[in-house]
């Protein structure tokens, strides 16, 4: 019975069906996102556990189904990985070292695929997003330290036709952790990276020439971003090496 369940959950047919169902689910989800943007759109800036509410249960049913299918796909991938690793280890004594490591490419790709999925899950459940008006003296405590806005300023264009129009705005920040204090400057389209945070500055509205713009700091912390990037890069490298090996073998190489 266990062997039957193992083979069923790890079969390629099960993988294909899951991918088809996930594609259909996302198609339905895109329609709901267009019909209910005020509800589905909250996922862009809210943790999933904070997003759940009574109105979500009727419009977000497809997301629960998507989570279930992604969990099943992760189980399917883990079983395929275990099977391929077992086969590679059994053949180790028969293959030369280069072939053994080449045989590890597919299971390692599966491992990094799971890392990417886990990174997405961590991002959805644990990310932080804080919006803060840019005013000198503003202080906010974050999980890794304290951020203080020291001052802000804007530079205007001085060319004919653009005179008085804002060219760039920036703010001087003091970033404190228990171990150090650093001073950094953030500008529009010039974010800074500090600890696990990315700090952006944005203009809330286009000011009239000569007006002082209203500015906002957007502070983001995404603990799942690094696993997603690392897993994605390593997955891409391995898939290139894997297909290079296939093409070489078809041309008569080893």
**Each residue of 112-141: pLDDT tens digit?**
988 998 998 888 888 888 898 999 999 999
- Asked if 22 and 69 count as a contact pair (C-beta separation under 8 A), the reply is yes
Question: Among 51-65, 71-85, 116-130, 170-184, where is mean pLDDT lowest?
Answer: 51-65
pLDDT of 94 reads 74
Dihedral sign of CA atoms 232, 237, 241, 244 in order: positive
How are beta strands 197-203 and 215-221 bridged, if at all?
antiparallel
pLDDT of 105 reads 85
Residues 47-63 as b or e (16 or more Cβ within 10 Å = b): ebeebeeeebeeebebb
Token reading at 210: 């000569």
What value does the mean pLDDT take over residues 2-16?
90
What value does the mean pLDDT take over residues 231-248?
88
pLDDT band at residue 187 under the 50/70/90 scheme:
very high
């Amino acid at each position: 019975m266990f062997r039957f369940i193992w083979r069923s959950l790890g079969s390629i047919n099960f993988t294909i069906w899951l991918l088809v169902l996930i594609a259909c689910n996302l198609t339905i989800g895109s329609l709901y996102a267009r019909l209910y943007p005020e509800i589905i759109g909250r996922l862009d800036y809210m943790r999933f556990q904070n997003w759940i509410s009574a109105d979500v249960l009727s419009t977000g049913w497809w997301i629960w189904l998507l989570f279930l299918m992604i969990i099943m796909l992760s189980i399917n991938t883990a079983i395929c990985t275990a099977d391929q690793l077992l086969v590679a280890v059994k053949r180790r004594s028969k293959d030369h070292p280069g072939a053994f490591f080449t045989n590890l490419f597919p299971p390692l790709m599966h491992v990094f695929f799971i890392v990417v999925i886990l990174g997405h899950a961590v991002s959805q459940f644990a990310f932080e997003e804080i919006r803060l008006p840019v005013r000198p003296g503003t202080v906010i405590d974050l999980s890794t330290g304290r951020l203080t806005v020291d001052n802000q300023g804007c530079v205007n264009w001085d060319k004919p036709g653009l005179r008085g129009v804002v060219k760039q705005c920036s703010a001087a920040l003091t970033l404190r952790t228990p171990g150090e204090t650093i001073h950094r400057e953030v500008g529009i389209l010039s974010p800074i990276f500090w600890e696990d945070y990315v700090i952006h500055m944005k203009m809330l509205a286009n000011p009239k020439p000569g007006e002082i713009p209203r500015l906002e700091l957007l502070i983001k912390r995404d603990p799942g971003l690094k696993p997603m990037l690392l897993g994605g890069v390593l997955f891409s490298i391995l898939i290139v090496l894997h297909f290079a090996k296939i093409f070489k073998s078809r041309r008569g190489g080893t």
